[in-house]
């Protein structure tokens, strides 16, 4: 009797979960959702299986996921194995011709196909791409401006083959949206002269989300979301509130480029951006299909 009662409770809990999810399934039906995968979720097999299953389920439920991934630690590991030394200027890696070849090999090859295989294993139909395919992302050299704290003088840092998107051609992704295929995009792009550029994964995801007029951009990272001055998680904020928190220094360090990516995506037409913890099991499903969501949501 005890086992039967336990089984009944489990079934009722499952039924309640499905019932609660229904309005959110209806809300997101037919929408494009761009998901940036990064951090520990990429290195943990259990978390990768959870993520892959979540993406396959999204597609099965009528949502159209577009996965964009990073791979910084894996690139560092491969450079070390190949004994290719990286040079740094003001703490920022300079991507020379030898390094960008490794970047493309790791991002568009090894990592991309691992994610594709994980989604396919869970019953999805994933296809790997890079920004070079069908000129999905066209980039130009990123010249970073650095201000000298002592003098206030500004100078440009040339980081080699590090690029920024200058145009997005979403037609190929629109073809996937009208099929049962799930695109997985590596943030490698071609320049106007055919050169190869490495693009920050968050930046690439934001640009693609804007071009696709995505309903959501989900940035999976290694923290629960954006924290306020008191250290508590901020569950939702506006563009103006986010800008004020950057100016006041509450948002600082590595969270600044993520929030700036969110603000740029919102300005391009994305409805909302969520910064959430990719280490949490089924973080994507919790964000999309539950009442409370997960992480920090930033709205226009």
Cβ–Cβ < 8 Å for 164, 199: yes
229 class by beta-carbon count within 10 Å (0-12 exposed, 13-18 middle, 19+ buried) = exposed
Is the whole model's pTM more than 0.85, yes or no?
yes
Instruction: Round to whole Å and give the CA distance between 72 and 69.
Output: 10
Mode of pairing for the β-strands spanning 64-69 and 32-37:
parallel
pLDDT tier for residue 197 given thresholds of 50, 70 and 90: very high
What are the tens digits of pLDDT across the range 252-279?
A: 888 988 999 999 999 999 999 999 988 8
SS3 assignment, position 220 = strand
Residues 6+ apart with CB under 8 A from 150: none
The tokens for 85 are: 């030394």
Nearest alpha-carbon partner for 88 in 43, 138, 146: 146
Tens digit of each residue's pLDDT (9 = 90 or more) over 62-119: 999 999 999 888 898 999 999 998 777 665 678 899 999 999 999 999 999 999 999 9
Query: CA-to-CA distance for 183 and 195, rounded, in angstroms?
Result: 23
In the block, residue with structure tokens 């030394």: 85
CATH class for the region spanning 30-299: alpha beta
Task: Give the residue, 258 or 151, on which the prediction is more confident.
Answer: 258
Give the domain ranges of the chain: 30-299
DSSP string, 221-251: ESSSS-B-TTS-B--EEEHHHHHHHHHHTSS
């Amino acid at each position: 009797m005890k086992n039967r009662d336990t089984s009944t409770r489990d079934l009722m809990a499952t039924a309640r979960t499905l019932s609660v999810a229904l309005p959110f399934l209806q809300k997101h039906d037919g929408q494009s959702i761009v998901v940036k995968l990064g951090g520990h979720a990429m290195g943990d097999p259990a978390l990768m299986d959870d993520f892959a299953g979540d993406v396959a389920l999204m597609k099965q439920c009528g949502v159209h996921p577009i996965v964009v991934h990073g791979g910084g630690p894996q690139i560092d590991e491969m450079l070390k194995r190949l004994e290719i030394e990286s040079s740094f200027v003001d703490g920022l890696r300079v991507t020379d011709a030898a390094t960008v070849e490794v970047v493309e090999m790791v991002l568009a090859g090894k990592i991309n196909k691992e994610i594709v295989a994980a989604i396919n294993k869970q019953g999805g139909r994933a296809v790997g791409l890079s920004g070079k395919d069908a000129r999905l992302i066209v980039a130009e050299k990123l010249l970073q401006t650095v201000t000298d704290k002592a003098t206030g003088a500004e100078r440009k840092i040339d980081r080699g083959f590090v690029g920024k998107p200058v145009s997005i051609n979403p037609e190929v992704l629109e073809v996937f949206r009208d099929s049962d295929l799930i695109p997985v995009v590596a943030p490698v792009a071609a320049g106007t002269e055919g050169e190869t550029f490495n693009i920050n994964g968050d930046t690439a995801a934001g640009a693609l989300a804007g071009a696709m007029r995505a309903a959501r951009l989900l940035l999976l990272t290694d923290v629960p979301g954006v924290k306020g001055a008191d250290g508590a998680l901020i569950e939702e904020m506006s563009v103006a509130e986010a800008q004020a928190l950057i100016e006041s220094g509450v948002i600082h360090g590595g969270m600044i480029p993520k929030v700036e990516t969110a603000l740029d995506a919102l300005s391009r037409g994305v409805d909302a951006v969520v910064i959430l913890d990719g280490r949490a099991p089924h973080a994507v499903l919790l964000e999309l299909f539950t009442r409370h969501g997960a992480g920090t949501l930033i709205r226009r």
